[in-house]
Chain A
Amino acid sequence: EIVLTQSPDTLSLSPGERATLSCRASQRISNNYLAWFQQKPGQAPRLLIYGASSRATGIPDRFSGSGSGTDFTLTISRLEPEDSAVYYCQQYGNSPPYTFGQGTKLEIK
C-alpha cells in the first residue's frame, strides 16, 4: 500500500499570498496518477487537480499542481478567503487501495 504524507499539517497565510502544499508518496506513483481535492466544512470533497498537473473543469488557474514520481505539490497563488479548507492528495494509479494523504488545513488570516 502506498502511504501519502502531506505537509504541513496546517498552513496560515494572508489573502494575496501564495500557498505551497506538499504530498510525498512512500513509493513511485505510476503515470503520475495523483489528484488533489479541496474540502470545506460540511461539504463533499471537490476535485481540483488530476494527473498531478491537470486542472479539473471549472477550477481557477490560481490552482496548479506539479511533481512526479514520489513528490508532488499543490500551489495556490493569490490566496482568497474562500480558499480556506482542508486539502487532500490521493493516488489512484498503482493497484488499489487508492490512498489519501492525511490532509493539510489551510487557514486564511
Chain B
Amino acid sequence: QVQLVESGGGVVQPGRSLRLSCAASGFSFSIYGMHWVRQAPGKGLEWVTVISYDGSNIHYADSVKGRFTISRDNSKNMLFLQMNSLRVEDTAVYYCAKKLSGGTGYPPDSWGQGTLVTVSS
C-alpha cells in the first residue's frame, strides 16, 4: 500500500527558508518520478515541481524557479523540497505525489495528506 507522509511545514517569516520532506513507503520509490503540488487556502491546485526517478530530470513552475529546489534520496525513500526566499504567496498546503508509472507521460496518482506552510510576518 502506497504511503506518502509529508513533514516540515510550519510558520515562517517572509524571506526565510524551509525544507519539506516526504517519506515514501509501500512501493519501489527509486523507479518513480515524484511531484510537489500546492494548494493555497481556499484555492485550487498548483503544480510546483517534478523530479525523475533518478533525479536527473527536474522542472519547476515559474513561480518558484530559482527559489525552490527539489531533490530525492533513493537510499532512504525520501523526497525533499528546499524552499528559500519564501513569500506570503507561497502559503499553501504542500502535497508530494507519486507518478502513476515509472515511464514518461503519467500524472500523479498517489498523494500524501499534505503539510501546511504559512509565510507571515
A-side interface residues toward B, CB under 8 Å?
A: 1, 31, 33, 35, 37, 39, 44-47, 50, 56, 86, 88, 90, 92-93, 95-103
Contacts and interface: CB of A to CB of B under 8 A. Distances in A.
A50 B111 contact: no
A51 to B, nearest CB: 8
A47 B47 contact: no
B95 A92 contact: no
Interface stretch (B16-24, B71-79, B81-89, B100-108): B100-108
A33 B46 CA distance: 17
Contacts of A88: 44-45
Contacts of A102: 44
Nearest to B61: A97
Contacts of B45: 37, 39, 45, 88, 90, 100, 103
Q: How large is the interface on B (under 10, 10 to 19, 20 to 34, 35 or more residues)?
A: 20 to 34
7 contacts: A47-B109, A50-B100, A56-B100, A96-B59, A98-B50, A98-B107, A100-B47
Interface string B19-53: 00000000000000001010000001111001000
Contact of B50 (A33, A56, A86, A96): A96
B105 A44 contact: no
A31 B44 contact: no
